[in-house]
Amino acid sequence: MLLSDMLYQDPTLLAADKALEAKALSEPRRASRLGMGAIGESCARKTWYRFRLASREAFGAKTLKLFADGHAAEAVQAERLRLVDGIHLDTADPKTGNQFEYTDWNGHFVGKCDGKITGLLQAPIKLHVWEHKSVGEKKIAEFRKIRAEVGEKKTLRKWNYQYWIQAILYMYYEGTDRHYLTVSTPGVRETESCRTEADTAEAIRQTVKAKRIIDANEPPERISKDASWYECRWCTFSGICHQKEIPDRTCRTCLHSTVMPEGAWHCARWGKTLTSAEQIDGCPAHKFLPKMVAGEVINADDKGVTYKLEDGSAWYDGE
């Protein structure tokens, strides 16, 4: 094979990938709540930045395709499970027609499970919270290896800690003690599974962690002070966290805003509850939460705050 053939890249497919990325960026940004699927991330600071809308996360075409594959695989696997006599799988809340949703901390902490299932041949009567994940072939091979080493019910925690935290939180809020995970390769050609038992003590610890993040007006400690640490190097928020970049001027990065019941945010400057669009857009009266600015506060009044930056210059943040 010629080297030129090995290095060949189809310009049409490259253009399609660029168009996919552009389309994702053009879609309206959402003022998301703190997700139960994210609280298990190793870096609480990253989770806090995301919750505070510090920067829009831009995903490459490969990641966007993985997301799409995951959604498609979930639907395929659900239909296959329903083919088994005795299985009853609900993937939508009959009260709302949407995914089953769990909320806590005034609606700011939220989880949406893929479904609830009964009739598993391993445990016909027991209600399980169901989740499906689509992964690469190496990850599913690792899954099989871990399950053989530690047994089915310990597999999820060792294989993916973040997924395990999500699972035990869903069980905690559902009030059941079993979780059923199916894992497939792209195209749902191969599927594996494991059941997981509840861990109420750990679930409570994670809800407390969520409360700390929601209430915090300054970022938690970094997972590493080294920007080259692998988890920092690929993090969306590395520039803000390590390189002193200025965060986005959203309402959630502003010291005027506070969390309110029912997942709402309130602005003290204008005395109003903020819509999702307003939270993202911010306003000319925006003032950064002081710990989001890489400098020392040297003066503050009703109109603004003056910081002394590391290079000795002064920077004014105000109306």
| SS percent in the chain: helix, strand, coil, step 5 | 40, 20, 40
User: Which one of 48-62, 157-171, 235-249 scores highest in mean pLDDT?
Assistant: 157-171
User: How many angstroms separate the Cα of 112 from the Cα of each of 93, 271, 306, 315?
Assistant: 10, 32, 42, 42
Query: Under a CB-based contact definition with an 8 Å cutoff, are residues 211 and 173 in contact?
Result: no
pTM attached to this predicted model = 0.91
User: Which one of 137-141, 243-247, 300-304 scores highest in mean pLDDT?
Assistant: 137-141
The third-level CATH classification (topology) of the domain covering 30-213 is Lambda Exonuclease; Chain A (3.90.320)
| Residues 110-142 pLDDT 10s | 999 999 999 999 999 999 999 999 999 999 999
R_g of the chain computed on alpha carbons: 23
Q: Which amino acid is at 69?
A: D
Within 10 angstroms of residue 143's Cβ, the number of other Cβ atoms is 22
Q: Give the C-alpha separation, 112 to 232, whole Å.
A: 27
| Residues 193-239 pLDDT 10s | 999 999 999 999 999 999 999 999 999 999 999 999 999 998 989 99
Whether the per-residue pLDDT at 2 is higher than 60: the answer is no
Retrieve residue 21's tokens: 């990325």
Ramachandran class of 58: left when φ > 0, alpha when ψ lies in -120 to 50, beta otherwise: beta
Give the percent of the chain with pLDDT over 90: 76
- Listed by start position, the domains of the chain span 30-213
Query: Under a CB-based contact definition with an 8 Å cutoff, are residues 202 and 211 in contact?
Result: no
Q: Where are the alpha helices (DSSP H) in the chain?
A: 3-6, 11-26, 44-51, 61-82, 137-150, 152-159, 161-174, 200-215, 230-233, 238-242, 276-281
